[in-house]
Amino acid sequence: KQEVTQIPAALSVPEGENLVLNCSFTDSAIYNLQWFRQDPGKGLTSLLLIQSSQREQTSGRLNASLDKSSGRSTLYIAASQPGDSATYLCAVEGYGGATNKLIFGTGTLLAVQP
Amino acid sequence: DAGVIQSPRHEVTEMGQEVTLRCKPISGHNSLFWYRQTMMRGLELLIYFNNNVPIDDSGMPEDRFSAKMPNASFSTLKIQPSEPRDSAVYFCASSTFGMPQHFGDGTRLSIL
């Protein structure tokens, strides 16, 4: 059974710092890995989607990497801003009967201090 | 683009009552998902539909939960009878194949 873990559970950094969020998964047979952002009282917003054949994806100040063999992904946020404060979740999608089924980690709560 | 629309945003009701949550997916999306989020268990997939057909309902916790999608623009998640342990935030999401899911803002459900 696929399990997704995120470390740390919470993180507080001063504005301007570069930071890394970690995600690990137990079954490397994944179709893709996705990073989402969740603001308080809101739904999830997709940030980056990495296909299983890819090693990384970039969007603005965000860069996500994927190492399927080791079951790990990282989300790198450059030059953090107070507006980046949110909960960040990673999710993996499997193959076959697991297609379309996202298994989520428990998230990292990020606070960027001005 | 109106996004995924869920109603109501908040629901407070007494144990034993029937609860119906509603979702309007993004036009043109052919997959619809219902999730439940709690502090203890995180975000869990309850059921998903492709082209209005339920594909996998293995995440539905009990027979008290049911979901329907009568057409491409509407879905409901019903709990009958409701129990305090059903209190959670319920999210609906929609997507097209291979693309990220788009989430609604959720329904915060409290069962007293």
C-alpha of B7 from chain center: 10
Residue pLDDT tens, chain A, 114 long:
899 999 999 999 999 999 999 999 999 989 899 999 999 988 999 999 999 999 999 999 999 999 999 999 999 999 999 999 999 999 999 876 556 789 999 999 999 999
Q: CB A105 to CB B42 under 8 A?
A: yes
| pLDDT band, residue B97 (cuts 50/70/90) | confident
Amino acid at B18: E
Interface A-B: count of C-beta contacts within 8 A? 41
Q: Which residues of A touch B101 (CB under 8 A)?
A: 44, 46, 102
Pick from B86, B80, B68: nearest CA to B32:
B68
**How far is it, in rounded angstroms, from Cα B55 to Cα B48?**
6
What's the longest Cα–Cα distance across chain A?
45
| pLDDT band, residue B6 (cuts 50/70/90) | very high
Cα three-residue angle B53-B54-B55, rounded to 5 degrees: 105
Closest CA in chain B for residue A32: B98
Q: CB A104 to CB B42 under 8 A?
A: yes
pLDDT at A75: 97
pLDDT at A34: 95
| pLDDT band, residue B27 (cuts 50/70/90) | very high
Average pLDDT, chain B: 94
| pLDDT band, residue B61 (cuts 50/70/90) | confident
The arithmetic mean of pLDDT across residues B40-56, rounded, is 92
Per-residue tokens: B99:
């693309």
